[in-house]
Amino acid sequence: MSQIPPHSSPPNLFRLVGLPYFLIAFVARLPFAMMVVGVLTLVVTARGSLSVGGLTSAAVGAGTALIGPFLGAAADRFGQRPVLVASAVLNSAMLAAFAFVVYSPASFTLVLLAGFAIGATAPQVSPMSRSRLVTIIDERMPQAQRPRTTSATMSYESAADETVFVFGPFLVGILASFIAPWVPIAAASALTLIFVGAFALHPTARHVSITRGADGAAPSAVSELFRPALLVVVVGIFGVGLFFGTTLTALTAFMADRGAPEQAGLLYGVMGIGSALLALGVAWLPVRFSLHARWLVFGSIFLIGSVLVATAPSVGMMIVALALLGIGVGPTLVTQYSLGAARSPLGRSATVMTMLGSGVVVGQAVGAAVTGELAESIGTHAALLMPLVASAVVVGAGIVNRLLTPIQR
């Protein structure tokens, strides 16, 4: 029934899914990384209001956070292919329509609704890819290979996410600056239709859909999604999203005080690049270094780096603090996704992965909004304390996770 041919030699994931899959899945997640910044750039340019642009970007995030888990649940129920095809077509259309709405005399409310529609229809490529690969690992690979392969897969997926979230805003800036502010949205629309469509139609999607209905096993009850051991992972990954939002906003305030707010993205890239590289390195950590211990160790590095961010007196020290944060952030995110995969109820992996992805999005939106308000009303020092608060949430959730998990000897 599977479209993935068996091999006589020991299987590995790369051979099971093929190089084209990884290339398609990588480009397919790029439009998502371009959406929020692209919407902000277009609205600020066309409407001349930073506040309207910020609210519209927040509406995009709200749409993704509220609807994303339902798209994951639909994929678990009906298979990934029909959900992704519908999402790709709708999102591509919403992106194109958004540009017309912004440049038209439409009301602010309509602009917000259009932004929400972009987020609500956004294809959940990253969670779907994680769910798809974990399903293939569980069904097609020997038991002994599964833990390390799953860890390596989560490492790659997290590194790919962080790479596109560094490159996506950069691409938006290039296209908007050298061509026109609407071009990034048009490019995201085209990439969504072509590459998300290709991702939906790839044979691995059919494999997941066919096996889901072929074995006759009913999915676990919805109540299984609310077990404490799984919810603590959602809280932990919300803390990482909170950290992303607070850090970028605090860095913007920090650099604005020095007359160069546009350089905040460059400083943020120091952490992003290091985080992506360290995320890939998690695959080589020894199996005895358990997921629970990794969360606490790398989360502690995360916490120390946040203390340095809050007290950095100069740009040079801020760069050092961000480099240290990169060591902690990537491995922590990989660990949380690995725990989410391990604790996914039967037949609910896409739902769990979209819950985790939405946790990052919600945390990022909340962190950016609160930190921005603090920076304006109190000052940069208060804003720089917010990454420390976010890190405390991550470490606190890690401690609870350790207490909820029996020690294995």
Residues 86-98, buried b or exposed e (16+ Cβ, 10 A)? bbbbbbbebbbeb
Structure tokens at 281: 């390195």
pLDDT of 252: 75
Task: With H, G, I as helix, E, B as strand and everything else as coil, classify residue 160.
Answer: helix
What predicted TM-score, i.e. pTM, was given to this entire model? 0.74
pLDDT of 92: 93
Regions of the chain short of the pLDDT cut 50: 1-8, 210-216, 408-409
CATH number of the domain located at residue range(s) 219-409 in this protein = 1.20.1250.20
Structure tokens at 184: 């990034």
pLDDT of 214: 39
Q: Which part of the chain is CATH 1.20.1250.20?
A: 17-152+162-217, 219-409
Other residues' Cβ atoms within 10 Å of the Cβ of residue 228:
12
pLDDT of 32: 81
pLDDT of 9: 57
User: For residues 334 and 279, is the Cβ–Cβ distance under 8 A?
Assistant: yes
Fold of 17-152+162-217: Growth Hormone; Chain: A; (1.20.1250)
C-alpha dihedral over 217, 354, 110, 174, to 10 degrees?
-140
SS3 content of the chain, % helix, strand, coil (to 5): 85, 0, 15
pLDDT of 307: 93
How open is the CA angle 283-289-293, to the nearest 5 degrees? 110
Q: How far apart are CA 351 and CA 345, in angstroms?
A: 9
Q: Strands (DSSP E) along 106-238, which ranges? A: none
In degrees and rounded to multiples of 5, residue 366 shows phi and psi of: -65, -45
